[in-house]
Amino acid sequence: MKRIPLILFLLLVFLCFLIPPALARDTLWVTSEGSKLKSNNKASSRTIEIVPIGTEVSVLTSKRRWHKVRIPSGEEGWMYRGRLSEAPPQKEAEGETDDLFASLGGSKIEAQEADTGRSIRGLSSETEQYAKLRGTPITYERALDRVLAMGVTEKELDTFLKQGQIGEYAP
């Protein structure tokens, strides 16, 4: 008889630790220019809205490489995970600019014309440190610099990603 209250107490304590994390929503931030809130978890689905960099979103559920999110306006839809981050994007240390490419002297690509997702683009000391830690060859960095110096439109970039089945267009 004394076991039943003890078991119920332990069950209650156990549930107190399980329920809060289950109810808690993850918060992510948009880190890529031109991030699209989609009607479904496919790149080809209808775009509901373009969400600006720095927007905080609540993750409702996740499916493979996509998150169903709610944006501050209350609108819900799907966003590709590569355009979101667990931390808000930081402004450039010098000059506090909104132009993520400001530190790339001579680059003709504007933020609207490139995917500003997290990759080895030399956008910050953090990404440079990551490249060094991973042993990224200098030839890759130089090749990337040449690519960044080219003028690429958003449509050209989108076509390239679709044809190569890269990022949100991956099968």
CATH number at residue 67: 2.30.30.40
Query: Both 118 and 159 in a single domain?
Result: yes
Range of the structural domain that residue 134 is part of? 111-169
Domain contains 16 = no
Find the DSSP H helices in the chain.
Answer: 3-23, 125-134, 138-148, 154-163
Over residues 61-94, the pLDDT tens digits come to 999 899 999 999 999 999 999 999 998 887 644 4
Domain contains 35 = yes
Query: Both 116 and 150 in a single domain?
Result: yes
pTM equals 0.53
Q: What does each C-alpha distance from 51 to 16, 40, 45, 137, 152 come to in angstroms?
A: 36, 15, 16, 34, 21
Query: For residue 30, which of 81, 76, 105, 66 has the smallest C-alpha distance?
Result: 81
Contact between 38 and 12 (Cβ < 8 Å): no
**In which band, very low, low, confident or very high, does the pLDDT at 8 lie, cut at 50, 70 and 90?**
low
SS3 138: helix
- DSSP code of 26? E
CA pair distance 43, 99, nearest whole angstrom: 26
Domain contains 7 = no
Number of domains, the chain? 2
Over residues 10-38, the pLDDT tens digits come to 655 555 555 444 444 589 999 988 899 99
